[in-house]
Structure 1
Amino acid sequence: MRKGNFFRGLGYLAEGFRLIRQPRLRLLVIIPLVINVVLFAAMFYFMALGFETLIAMVMGWLPDWGWLQALDWLFWLLYGVVILLIMAYGFVIVATLIGAPFYGYLAELTEKHLTGQEVSTDDNWAAIIKDIPRALWREVQKIIYYLPRAIVLLIIGLIPVVNLVAAVLWFLFNSWMMSLQYVDYPADNHKVSFPALRRLLGDTRLSALGFGVPVALAAMVPVLNLVVVPAAVCGATAYWVRESDSNHQ
């Protein structure tokens, strides 16, 4: 059983950024981009308002041990990173939920560009609109998969000493989720079920992690996270074309 290649996985996001400059793909990049700009501005505003309150609340849950109070600055840093990771993936969830019908079509056109073969015969805007309910349900499935695991990590983050590794665990989990989030678009175009997609990524997990790491990092960078979503869709489609084929050889 293949486990993929971490360094090959790293290259897919860069390829995605090259692909979004293709003339036929640009419109499907621009429309969600405008939506993302508005969404990011709103999320950044509310995050700035609530960050200090949220940190103070979490710190209030910790036992009143002297050595823990002395490490107050470290907990601020750790929880700040965790909250940033939650916000980063939260932004991705909302942005992709809104843009899901566009991104499925973007993945289809990207695959056609890479392989020269049609993915489906419904190559029009009417098909995008008709596909909205199914695309939204697919996004809901990812959220259902994400939430219980995120809750477990949040609980781990509240345990003294153990919470020192919480930020690392969150980053690895976010990286996995980024791969799962975006490779789902080309997989869905091929009518591959969500459980089957998870098995595919498990079989090529090193490639999946290599792809997810730079996407997770880019999602944390203001402005860059506005364009990383369509680039990740295109990069994930390249991942699908190469990793899924090699996985079945």
Structure 2
Amino acid sequence: MLKGNFFHGLGYLAEGFRLIRQPGLRLFVIIPLILNILLFGLLFYFLAEGFGVMIAAAMSWLPDWQWLQALDWLFWLLYGVVILLMLAYGFVILANLIGSPFYGYLAELTEKQLTGQEVTTEGGWAQIIKDIPRALWREVQKILYYLPRAVFLLLLGLIPVVNLVSAVLWFLFNGWMMALQYVDYPADNHRVSFGDLRRSLGARRLSAFGFGLPVALAAMVPVLNLFVVPAAVCGATAFWVRERSANA
């Protein structure tokens, strides 16, 4: 039987957007946000440059008919769709890899603001630098968890009729992954292993889906996905504080 409250879960992302505006948290939102904007710009630039070369090559293969050459707008339209899809899922993974040390500290400050209690992690900037290897390894663990399941769903999507179910499973899986991705930051601050985190979220699965599904949807919207990452960290910390107490 699924436990938790889906509608309570829905409220955590909205709370996260409220929390990132708090004075004590803004610095640790602004720094990774600047890094994410630079990353977004570089990804867009290099993908645009590469696709431009592909378009030029494709157009050179076509007969020299004026109406065919006029189809280059169609290639650029396709390019725009491909870019949006690639950035929607690839950007979040890269942004989390780059910002993971900051997000761990952001989760710590958020928890302190929500509970009024110090988290065991200390040390400020020195601790952020010290935690970089551990934070990166934690991100790698999540990617290793994600990849085999994503490949399975991808293969499932190639089977006629079954692929209709696969689309729903993809959506649910992405919601589950977003919950795992962001609740992991406060969990890691308490030195909870990734395996224990999965079991803990499994015990509140409806709440986890309620939080993760809107995060997954927001991650697909350009520009909004720049802001949804720190908001999801703060919202996930609120999830951690309240759902953990509900389990107690």
Give the match for residue 41 of structure 2: 41
Aligned twin of 1:63 = none
Establish whether residue 20 from structure 1 lines up as the match of residue 20 from structure 2: yes
For structure 2, which runs of at least 5 residues remain unmatched after alignment? 52-79
Give the CA deviation at 1:24: 1.0
The alpha carbon displacement at 1:88 in A equals 2.3
CA contact (8 A) 1:112 1:119 kept: yes
Alpha-carbon shift at residue 168 of structure 1 (Å): 2.1
Aligned amino acid, residue 26 of structure 1? R
* Paired residue secondary structure (1:222): coil
Which residue matches 1:32? 32
Question: Matches of residues 1-249 of structure 1 in structure 2 within 5 Å?
Answer: 3-45=3-45, 87-120=87-120, 122-248=122-248
Per the TM alignment, residue 87 of structure 1 is displaced from its structure 2 partner at its CA by 4.3
Amino acid across the alignment from 1:164: L
Q: What SS does the corresponding residue of 1:96 show, helix, strand or coil? A: helix
**How far 1:84 sits from its partner (Å)?**
5.9
Q: Distance in 1 between matches of 2:10 and 2:85?
A: 19
Q: Which moved more, 1:110-119 or 1:41-50?
A: 41-50
2: CA distance, partners of 1:242 / 1:141: 25
Decide which structure has the larger Cα Rg and report it. 2
Give the whole-Å Cα distance in 1 for the aligned partners of 2:28 and 2:211: 22
- CA separation in 2, counterparts of 1:26 and 1:154? 38
- Output one character per residue of 1:92-114: Cα deviation in whole Å (capped at 9) or x when no partner: 11101100000000000000000
Aligned CA distance change for structure 1 residues 199 and 84 (closer, same or farther; 3 Å): farther
Q: Distance in 1 between matches of 2:145 and 2:195?
A: 10
Q: Quick one: distance in 2 between partners of 1:230 and 1:123?
A: 21
Unaligned runs of 5+ in 1: 52-79
Please report the TM-score for the alignment, with normalisation by the length of structure 2.
Answer: 0.83
Runs of 4+ with >4 A deviation: 45-51, 80-87
> How large is the Cα RMSD of the aligned pairs?
2.5
Q: Report if aligned partners of 1:85, 1:170 keep a CA contact under 8 Å in 2.
A: no
Residues 82 and 167 of structure 1 are in contact (CA less than 8 Å); yes or no, is this contact kept in structure 2?
no
- TM-score with structure 1 setting the length: 0.82
Equivalences, count: 223
> Against the structure 1 CA distance between its residues 84 and 166, is the aligned structure 2 distance closer, same or farther, given a 3 Å change threshold?
farther
Percent identity over the alignment is 79
- 1:42 positional shift: 3.1
